[in-house]
Amino acid sequence: MNKVRLPVQAALWKHPKNNEDYVLLKATSKKNEFLLFQLFSTKKEWELRNQREFFLTVTLELPYQRRTFKQNAAVWKLVTAIFESMEGRLPDEEEKYNMYLDLLEVYADRVPNKISGGTRPVHISESNSLEGSHFIDNLLNHLASECALSYGVQTTVQEVLEEWEAWRGGLETDYADYADREQTKMLTEAEWREKHIYSEASGYGGPIERAHIVSRGADAADIEMPWNWIALTPEEHAEQHRRGWDEFLHIYPHLRGRVERARRLAGKLELESTNQRKAVERPENLAIRALEEELE
């Protein structure tokens, strides 16, 4: 059996008509499209000659992604917000970079320093998606616990939070549900409460409650798994119970991915609004959207 390493990215989608899973492959660059086209053209020609279907055996390698442009942009927005909350004005480029270095020392993941024998912080320019995620989470925690934000700065932080939560909700598993980098040990309730000091819906700090996505009355066997918890203020928690998830997600749509993933893992039916959204999706639109995301 020959092995071919394809220069592609893969995304798991559900077919809008029969709800079956399928994998969407996307070339990582224009120059790699020919190799992908050649592979499937050869497959089709072989099937026509032999009058039977030929299956490709595929192994997907899933290393940590390099940090995305959105992560990089989010870091600088949050660094600017922290400076502005402290100084009451926007920083110049040198001040912003110096603040970034200070925050790196306190909040970034660290790696061995081959010269000193100690450790050094991982810069956002060299971090993978996991390391970048830890840094962004810590910056958001700092803003929630240490900073008094003006209305304008609050708006900026809210925008970053919504993009951030929407991205995490699209992951198959959320690194933030685990206590270790290898994602083998789930957070305990105490560890979860220590990490979640702001609302995942609004970004507000203060008293935070652990809300269940799939409720206790739904008889989910694994109701107390961290993927089923979401951090809300007491008012938001009460509003979610009053409105239900369909209406609540109209107010906080960036939480949809996390809610849908928890319901899927708990073996529950999809929300009505999820089914309505899938009914208008088409395979060609999914491919276009994937390409658009790559170009962002």
The answer on 165 and 177 residing in a single domain is no
Structural domain tally of the chain?
3
Express each pLDDT in 161-177 by its tens digit: 988 888 888 888 888 89
Q: Which two tokens stand for residue 147?
A: 């900073």
Assigned domain for 1 exists: no
Q: What is the pTM of this model?
A: 0.66
Of 85-94, 172-181, 185-194, 253-262, least confident by mean pLDDT is 172-181
Domain for residue 3, yes or no? no
In terms of domains, do 149 and 268 share one?
no
Mapping DSSP to helix (H, G, I), strand (E, B) and coil, where does residue 19 land?
coil
Question: In this predicted structure, what is the pLDDT of residue 100?
Answer: 97
Is 78 inside any structural domain?
A: yes
CB 167 within 8 A of CB 125: no
Average confidence (pLDDT) over 2-16: 65
Task: List Cβ neighbours of 60 (8 Å cut-off, separation of 6 or more).
Answer: 10
The number of beta carbons lying within 10 Å of the beta carbon of residue 178 is: 17
**Same domain for 238 and 253?**
yes
Predicted pLDDT at 278: 46
Q: Are 74 and 163 in contact (CB under 8 A)?
A: yes
160 and 175 in a single domain? The answer is no
Closest CA relative to residue 9, chosen from 119, 23, 19: 23
Domain boundary residue among 62, 85, 108? Answer: 62
What tens digit of pLDDT does each residue of 204-226 get?
888 999 999 998 665 556 678 99
Residue-level pLDDT at 221: 64
Q: Answer yes or no: is pLDDT of 102 > 90.
A: yes
**Confidence band (pLDDT; 50, 70, 90) for 53?**
confident
Most confident of 25-34, 35-44, 89-98, 217-226: 89-98
> Same structural domain for residues 294 and 194?
yes
Q: Cα separation of 98 and 87, whole Å?
A: 14
Alpha-carbon distance of 75 to 88, in angstroms, equals 19
Indicate the SS3 state at residue 112.
strand
Average pLDDT over residues 225-232: 93
**What pLDDT is stored for residue 61 in this prediction?**
53
**233 and 288 belong to one structural domain:** yes
**b/e per residue, 54-76, with b = 16+ CB within 10 A?**
eeeeeeeeeeeeebeebbeebbe
Domain that holds residue 134: 66-169
Structure tokens at 157: 């932080």
Residue 286 has pLDDT above 90, yes or no: no
213 vs 29, more confident:
213
8 A C-beta contact, residue 114 and residue 102:
no
- Quick check: helix, strand or coil at residue 229? strand
Statement to judge: residues 75 and 161 lie in one domain: yes
Q: Specify whether 83 is located in the same domain as 200.
A: no
Q: Which residue has the higher pLDDT, 224 or 56?
A: 224
Average pLDDT in the 241-270 region? 89
pLDDT value for 281: 44
C-beta of residue 213 within 8 angstroms of C-beta of residue 189: no
Q: Mark whether 197 and 242 lie in a shared domain.
A: yes
In a domain, residue 145? The reply is: yes
Task: Supply 158's token pair.
Answer: 């809210």
Task: Report yes or no on 199 lying in a domain.
Answer: yes
Same structural domain, 267 and 181:
yes
Nearest to 141 by CA among 204, 184, 99, 98: 204
From 62, 77, 100, the end of a domain falls on 62
Q: Same domain, yes or no, for 78 and 54?
A: no
- Indicate if 53 and 90 belong to the same structural domain: no
